[in-house]
A and B are shown apart, each in its own frame.
Chain A
Amino acid sequence: MNWQALDVSIIGPALLAGLLVIATHVPLGRAVLNRGIIFIDLAIAQIAGLGVIAANVFGWETDGWQIQVAAVSAAMLGAVMLHWTEKRFEKIQEALIGVVFVLAATLGLLLLANNPHGGEQLKDLLVGQILWVSYSQLWPIAILYAVVLLAWFTLDISKRHRLLFYLLFAITVTASVQLIGVYLVFASLIIPALATRNIRQNWRLLSAYVVGIVGYASGLVASALWDLPSGAMIVWCLAIVGLTTATFCGVNKLEISHS
């Protein structure tokens, strides 16, 4: 075991990044799970990456904030499109999202074949690493997520404003994917929501937050102690905490009685 790495200044920024992501992704994840569109985050992230590549191909020298503009614009366009397909083809929305994901990823490869400079930027967009996060990076995210959360809970978005749901989702995920990578974004969205879906309504959101926080904290500590890649370790700890919660909160009993 490696006690030296168990240092607040090493895992502190990562933990804070995790808490910010959990704050927004837990409520979003519950909506995503209810609608059965769990792969939407992968599709949106891939479309955001495609936006950056496309901006390069059309000769726009992307750098710093321009990359963000390209990524967010593309993600929001994707969101508008997915909102339309949900209205038009509600039953096959999940399958369409899968197709959109594959198309966006492969269109990226086709565009890159003649213009590979976007390759590194695409990689940066999709594989953020939570341990490299610094406090100064977290300020803009914190402000953005505060706005997202305010809109989410005051406007009752998950039920009333479908288009706004897709747009908020696009903005949130474009930011989080760059910060912590696709695997962690997916796990943060789905695992807390999945683990707590049979808990009583009043307690559900709170317990989902607890699953997320305990998962991130234990994952970071484990990754420090055994010196393993932090992102992957957190995903596994989230899953273990989620499974434990689900087991002790009577998922099985309810599941059986429902069917």
Chain B
Amino acid sequence: MSKINYIPFLSLLVLLSFSMATHAEVKVFACEPEWAALASELGGEQVSVFSATTGLQDPHQIQARPSLIAQLRSADLLACTGAELETGWLPLLLQRAANQKVQAGKPGHFMATEFVRLLGMPKKIDRSQGEVHAAGNPHIQTSPANILLVAKAMVARLQIIDPDHSVFYTARLSNFTERWQAAMTKWKALTRELRDMPIAVQHNSWVYLEDWLKLNNLATLEDKPGIPPSSGHLSQVLEKMQNQPAKMLLLASYQSDKAAQWFAQKTNIPVVTLPFTVGGSEQATDLFSLYDTTFTLMLEAYKP
């Protein structure tokens, strides 16, 4: 009878339990893929990230799946856009998950729009203006400058939630900031010729991109999401295009292109379908490639 040598097993066990202890990751529940991507950039192997929506879903509304409740229940950090983007489902989900760590007011409740200057704030809110976002336009991820502001704030939160790895997160942030600033310099140079370009948009999803590239938004096809535009509004848009044609119409890849194609046929203005977020196109696999693709697509369609 041979005696079993327990030492390798024991040491393996010790090693396993050790590695499990050090891998008590911060669980991040991201409402949109851009914040999931940012959390992975900043948290590295210290975080595990779940995204509630994909790049091709409308973040305004999602179908309730059991995993959403299960994931939020065990999350340490909820990373969402805020500014009323998720009002259709997040309050209900928070209530059902009943996770104290991520309720409003807790460090685990992170709303990206709280850390950037919001555009599209209505001067006065009245009913005639349609489905305006009273809190301002929530689609902040269309500007690279905003990503950096959100990154700083997100790292501060990660350090509160996981103080043991504070130094680690600081290092990740400075590494990310360096790479991001280099990329922004590159993108600025690349898009110089797009400055002051007149554009039209399907829906007001691009105000931050317009602000960053200094584009000139002439017309919006669908003022009110979900409500088809009136014929009067569309003829106004067409008339405007005759006097001052836009160079392109911007459309997010998750939106239906029906109205945009109609517009393109009437005006011969090209429709540019942009990824809008990480995963919104095959090329947009992370935050860097998101903007690489966005600007490449715009430059390809641009004729001076």
Residues of A within 8 A of B (CB): 2, 4-7, 10-11, 13, 109, 112-117, 119-120, 123, 129-132, 134, 220, 223-224, 227-232
Contacts and interface: CB of A to CB of B under 8 A. Distances in A.
Interface string B90-122: 001101100000000000000000000000000
Contacts of B92: 129, 132
A184 to B, nearest CB: 12
Contact of B65 (A115, A116, A131, A134): A131
Contact of B89 (A7, A115, A132): A132
A5 B92 CA distance: 17
Contacts of A230: 64-66
Interface in B46-75: 61, 63-70, 73
B229 to A, nearest CB: 9
A205 B83 CA distance: 49
A182 B73 CA distance: 28
Interface residues of B, number: 25
Give the secondary structure class of A's interface. helix
A10 B70 contact: yes
Contacts of B88: 120, 123
B230 to A, nearest CB: 6
Contacts of A232: 63
B57 to A, nearest CB: 12
Contacts of A134: 95-96
A230 B67 CA distance: 10
B130 A132 contact: no
B188 interface: no
A129 B69 contact: no
A227 B65 contact: yes
B131 interface: yes
Contacts of B230: 113
Nearest to A127: B61
A220 B65 CA distance: 10
